[in-house]
Amino acid sequence: MTEPALEHNPSVLRHARRIVVKVGSSLVTNEGRGLDEVAISQWSRQLATLVQEGRELIMVSSGAVAEGMKRLGWSTRPKEINELQAAAAVGQMGLVQMYETQLRACGVGSAQVLLTHADLADRERYLNARSTLLTLLQLQVVPVINENDTVVNDEIKFGDNDTLGALVANLVEADALIILTDQKGLYTADPRRDPAAEFVHVARAGDPALETMAGGAGSGIGKGGMITKILAAKRAAGSGASTVIAWGREPDVLMRLAGGEAIGTCLVAQTAKHQARKRWMSDHLQLRGAVVVDEGAVEKIVGEGKSLLPIGMTAVEGDFSRGDVIAVRDQRGVEVARGLANYASTEARLLCRKASADFERLLGYAAEPEMIHRDNLVLSRA
C-alpha cells in the first residue's frame, strides 16, 4: 500500500501548531462501561502540556450518547432519534464535567462547543463558529467539541464524530488531525478476521484503495469504523491537514506524535494548507460582490500581507452577506484579492472610511476590526 516515494514524515506533527484530536466512544467510555477517568486524565495531561508549549489543541470527543446509555441503564444503542437525543443530554453532563475537571487540574481551561452540520453549512454561522474557536485558542483554552446530539435530526446529523473532526480541522485550518481509536491504525484488511492483514504505516489521504480495504463499524458503542476515518482524512486533506490514525491507549501518544515519532497510520495531505486555501478562494466563481479600496489599502494587502480594514474602503458593490466570498478591487477596478467578508454589504457601506473605534456606534455592536481577515484573504496578483 505504501508507495516507495511516500515516507512517514515526522514533521507532519512535529511542526504542527494547530491540531485537532478526535477520540471515539469506545475509548472514552471503556467499551460502554462508563467514562474512563484514567484515560481522559492521560489525554488531558498531554493536551495541557502541548498547550503550555505553545501549541493550539482542539478535542473532538465522542462519548455523550454512550455515557448516557450507561447512566440510563441501556445495554444497546437506541435507534430512535428521540432516545439518542435523551441519552446525549444525560451523558453530556458527565462528559464535559470530566474534561473540565481533568484539564483544570493540569492548569488549562476548557470550553464546551456543540455543533451541528447546519452550523457549518451556513456561511455566517460557519464564520461565527470559527471566530469563537480561534478566540478560545488565543486564550489557551481547549475547546471540547461534540455533535449537538440533543437537537439534531436525520437531516443535519454529521453521522459520526470522525466526520466532525475533519470538518473542525477544515473550519480552523488545522495543520493536522489525530484520530484516536481502538486499533493501532489502518490495515489492508480487518486484522481481527484476517491474520494476513498488513499494517499501513503511511499512505496518501484520498487514495481510493484506502476506502476499498476499510471495513465497517468496529463496535456497537460508537457509529464509526475505519471507513469513516479514511473519509475523514480525505476531507481534512482538502484544507491541507494530514491525518494520523493511532491507538488511543498508546502511552503518551499525543506527546510522542507531536514530537515527530511515527505512530499509527499517517495519511498525508498532498496540498499544503495555504495552497489549499488559496486554490479554494481563487476558484470560487460565485462572487457576491466587491469592495473598492484606496492605494494605501492595496499596499497593505499586497505589499505587507495585512488584513483589509474598512478605513481603506471607498465603495461597496453588490449585495452580499457575512461569510460570502467577495472581490477586493483597486481604484481602477482591477481585482487585487478576494476573501470572506466579515460584514454584510449593508453594514460594509456604513463602515467605509471608518476606524474600528466607530463600529459600535454605527452598527450597534462591536465585532471584528477587519472587513476581511488576512487568513481569509488571497491575492489575485500572486
Same domain, 181 and 323: no
Same domain, 142 and 256: yes
Same domain, 118 and 223: yes
Position 155 scores a pLDDT of: 46
Instruction: Kindly state the average pLDDT of the residues 310-332.
Output: 95
Residue 327 or residue 214, greater confidence = 327
Inside any domain, residue 4: no
Inside any domain, residue 5: no
Q: What is the pLDDT of residues 148-206, one digit of tens each?
A: 766 766 544 665 689 899 999 988 989 999 999 988 999 888 777 888 889 999 999 98
Inside any domain, residue 2: no
- Report the first-to-last Cα separation within the chain, whole angstroms: 37
Most confident of 97-111, 161-175, 200-214: 97-111
Inside any domain, residue 257: yes
Same domain, 114 and 253: yes
Position 342 scores a pLDDT of: 93
**Where does the pLDDT of residue 246 fall: very low under 50, low under 70, confident under 90, or very high at 90 and above?**
very high
Same domain, 196 and 232: yes
Same domain, 111 and 248: yes
Q: Can you state the angle between helices 123-138 and 161-171, rounded to 10 degrees?
A: 80
Same domain, 317 and 246: no
Mean model confidence pLDDT for the chain:
87
Domain that holds residue 317: 284-379
Among the candidates 232, 249, 277, a domain finishes at: 277
Inside any domain, residue 6: no
Same domain, 185 and 118: yes
Q: What is the pLDDT of residues 7-42, one digit of tens each?
A: 555 567 888 999 999 998 889 988 777 899 999 999
Query: What is the rounded distance in angstroms from the CA atom of residue 240 to the CA atom of residue 30?
Result: 32
Same domain, 373 and 262: no
Position 142 scores a pLDDT of: 98
Same domain, 266 and 359: no
Position 75 scores a pLDDT of: 87
Count of structural domains within the chain:
2
Same domain, 250 and 307: no
What CATH number should be reported for the domain holding residue 266? 3.40.1160.10
CA distances from 205 to 1, 60, 240 (A): 12, 20, 10
Among the candidates 277, 312, 347, a domain finishes at: 277
C-alpha cell at 233: 482524512
Same domain, 293 and 260: no
Q: Tally Cβ neighbours within 10 Å of residue 118.
A: 14
C-alpha cell at 364: 450597534
Strand order in the sheet with 325-329: 313-318, 289-293, 325-329, 335-340, 377-379
**Where does the pLDDT of residue 209 fall: very low under 50, low under 70, confident under 90, or very high at 90 and above?**
confident
What CATH number should be reported for the domain holding residue 309? 2.30.130.10
Among the candidates 217, 243, 277, a domain finishes at: 277
Inside any domain, residue 374: yes
